[in-house]
Amino acid sequence: MHNEGKEVVLVTSGAIAAGIGKLGLKSRPKTIPEKQAAAAVGQGILMHMYEKIFSEYGKVAAQILITKDDISHRTRFLNARNTFFALAEMGAIPIVNENDAIIVDEIKFGDNDTLSATVASFVEADLLILLSDIEGLYDSNPRTNPNAKLIHEVKEITEEIENCAGGAGSSLGTGGMATKISAGRIATAAGVSMVIANGEHENVIRDIVNLKEVGTLFAPNEHPLPLRKHWITFSTDLKGKLVVDDGAFEAIFYNHKSLLPKGLVNVEGFFVTRSNCIY
């Protein structure tokens, strides 16, 4: 696909799993230091595998390790975005993973579904493909209900769609269908189509790109959020609240206007505005 001129970004898991094998551990570590140690060992192994395979096709792989903290800071977010665009211009393929060797709970994405949806949104991708060990989204859990039906297309993520999501995935991974639904919200809000499909099927990616009916397609929003509003909505942490009057609410919510000081009723929380006024 890259040879056909398509720009490709690969978001991967596997650093901790690769480290588990190299260190001879019998199960996934339980403590954060143990997980980080496994990730530190495994990340190099993981990248070596990708570099070896891609080099056989004359492709250059670039490692990018990201934390949620990197994305929540506007300057670092824009720097990361510029790095992806520069790599695309140079013909390299970014291999993205969370920086598990140094991560703490406060600055982690926690799963690669959310990470990949975030990356897809800020590089303005056309399509996000989530490869899993299941065919797609079902109306109930197919592992417990033999009559569960595959949902081929989701036009809008409703409460009913969220209720279809099951629990966690494999013992080595961290995500489940619930995280994929959450990723769908992030991606589709940015105008990115998303497909959940079974990665074990041969040529599954090419079939998806060729518009064959594979897995579950999440249709992009007809009116996607502008990049800055999308970043504010999905990539920043809540620091405080502004309580506004009815007039300000109508102006902001229905007419998409800016908030004027006279519309403020109350301010909650501790944060710094662009004018450096601390609340």
Based on the fold, state whether residues 231 and 251 are members of the same structural domain.
no
Based on the fold, state whether residues 256 and 231 are members of the same structural domain.
no
**Are 199 and 137 in contact, with CB atoms under 8 Å apart?**
no
Q: Residue 233 annotated as binding?
A: no
Based on the fold, state whether residues 91 and 15 are members of the same structural domain.
yes
Based on the fold, state whether residues 209 and 190 are members of the same structural domain.
yes
**37 lies in some domain:** yes
Q: Residue 112 annotated as binding?
A: yes
pLDDT band at 29 (very low <50, low <70, confident <90, very high): confident
Per-residue pLDDT reduced to its tens digit, 81-95: 999 999 999 999 999
Instruction: Calculate the average pLDDT of the chain.
Output: 87
**Are 100 and 43 in contact, with CB atoms under 8 Å apart?**
yes
**205 lies in some domain:** yes
Based on the fold, state whether residues 26 and 75 are members of the same structural domain.
yes
Over residues 268-273, mean pLDDT: 78
Based on the fold, state whether residues 19 and 90 are members of the same structural domain.
yes
Q: Residue 13 annotated as binding?
A: yes
Based on the fold, state whether residues 54 and 66 are members of the same structural domain.
yes
Per-residue pLDDT reduced to its tens digit, 160-185: 888 887 544 443 344 478 889 999 99
Q: Residue 133 annotated as binding?
A: yes
Q: Residue 26 annotated as binding?
A: no
Q: Residue 140 annotated as binding?
A: no
Based on the fold, state whether residues 131 and 233 are members of the same structural domain.
yes
Q: Closest Cα to residue 18, out of 33, 28, 32, 9?
A: 28
- What is the number of domains present in the chain? 3
Based on the fold, state whether residues 274 and 178 are members of the same structural domain.
no
Based on the fold, state whether residues 220 and 253 are members of the same structural domain.
no
Question: What whole-number distance in Å separates Cα of residue 154 and Cα of residue 136?
Answer: 11
Question: Residue 168: what pLDDT?
Answer: 41
Q: Are strands 240-244 and 264-269 parallel, antiparallel or unpaired?
A: antiparallel
Per-residue pLDDT reduced to its tens digit, 51-84: 999 999 999 999 999 988 888 888 999 999 999 9
Range of the domain at 275: 239-279
Per-residue pLDDT reduced to its tens digit, 233-252: 888 877 788 999 999 999 98
Q: Kindly state the helix (H) or strand (E) to which residue 208 belongs, with its residue range.
A: helix 204-209
Based on the fold, state whether residues 152 and 222 are members of the same structural domain.
yes
